Structure 1
Amino acid sequence: MTELEKTVLDAALHVFSRYGVKRTSMGDLCEEAGVSRQTLYNRFRNKDDILRGLIGRYTELALEEIAEELPKAPDLAAQIDLIFDRMVVRGFDTMQAMPNAQDFIDGANAVSQEALQCSAGRFRAVIAEVLMPHEGAINRAGMTVEALADCLQRAAKAAGMHAQDRAHFLAQLRTLKQLCLTAALGPVPDATHKED
């Protein structure tokens, strides 16, 4: 991605978050990005192209951060926390701060299914990668690494879409992580219950 494309996409996110996708014109995007119409149209034919570009840019940035920080994560729990944070928590927080978030989500969902599916697949691959060292335990639990990665990615995304608020969303992610850890590592003793 070129610097010009990054500039346009960053500007688009700002404008879409202020006015919504429907009310934003290509002229608004040119003005915010500080580029001419011809420059904008040389790279992005329409707002749909820009939405697809935003999905790709978000995915790339998140995956780069995960790749950089994953080696520093001390265990599977920390790895899952990192992936969830970059995959869904940051996006959730961004959407919560947008006055026209639903318009942005609706616009992205309507025109960007292929880009969204590609992004989801890339995150599933990262989840599968961190689960692979625990494949034996996951298989003994009656699952495959691929199925568990698919379930985690889809459930985390759905949790963000249907959560009552941020606290509820994070509680759902903690539950997903615990289910994953139980499958990969076996039952973890609960420190809140004392044995008699």
Structure 2
Amino acid sequence: MMTQTSETTPPYTGKREAIVEAAAIVFARYGFARTSMADLAQAVGMSRTALYPLFRNKRDVFDAVIRHAIAKTIAAIRQELDQHETLDAKLRFALVDWIVRGYEFVHAMPDARDLFDFSVPAVQEAYTAMEALLADIMAAHVNRPDIDVRLLARIKTATFRSLKEIAVDTDDLRRMIDLEITLIVASLR
């Protein structure tokens, strides 16, 4: 049975959630650098002065957007994992949803790349949350004391992050993901 980590706590509620959801659209459209607190306040229909008590600055809003997105993504993946029986199927479902969706989003909206910038601490937290999810998936299907599934999940998360950078297109990315999953499953048998 998989345990839910703190990274998958429910998303914001009320006014903060409305701001985060509106800000996600603005950051995706214009990127971090070109977005101002005035833009964010306007997107949610409030004044900048009303925004500041909820978020100290643009970076706080940006980080909240990333944390909110990963919490929703991981919660959705966890909710549907039981519909997949095998390790292969669970990994394929989780990874294709996480990696391909992000890849296609950035290619459709190039300024959204900021939301996936690994130098941003909130993005690093997102990858750590994904590592935990992958480790949980593997641990539920593997009984090999000689393999540290947490370390394997960390290595593979870094690999999957790199695949997005070298993929020629979505089909190429999917082929690379498929091969990685095949290798993971074979190595855990």
SS where residue 135 of structure 1 aligns? Answer: coil
Runs of 4+ in 1 over 3 A off after TM superposition: 133-138
In structure 2, relative to structure 1, the CA distance for the partners of 1:105 and 1:44 (3 Å cut) is same
Based on CA coordinates, which of the two structures has the bigger radius of gyration?
Answer: 1
Q: 1:14-163 alignment to 2 at 5 Å? A: 14-102=25-113, 104-105=114-115, 108-110=117-119, 112-113=120-121, 115-137=122-144, 139=146, 143-163=147-167
For these two proteins, the number of residue pairs brought into alignment is 178
Looking at secondary structure, tell me which structure has more helix per residue.
Answer: 1
Report deviation, 1:7.
1.6
**Structure 1 contact 159–169 (Cα < 8 Å) conserved:** yes
Aligned CA RMSD, in angstroms, stands at: 2.0
C-alpha spacing 1:44/1:154, structure 2 compared with 1 (3 Å): same
Higher relative contact order (Cα pairs below 8 Å, separated by 6+ residues) = 2
Aligned equivalents of 1:8 and 1:130: distance in 2?
Answer: 33
Provide the identity percentage: 27
How far off is 1:79 after superposition? 0.6
Which runs of no fewer than 5 residues in structure 2 stay unpaired? 1-11
Alpha-carbon separation, structure 1, partners of 2:70 and 2:27:
18
Alpha carbons 1:138, 1:183 under 8 Å: kept: no
Q: Which runs of 5+ in 1 are unaligned?
A: 186-196
Q: Specify the SS of the correspondent of 1:42.
A: coil
Q: Is the 8 A contact 2:96 2:174 kept in 1?
A: no
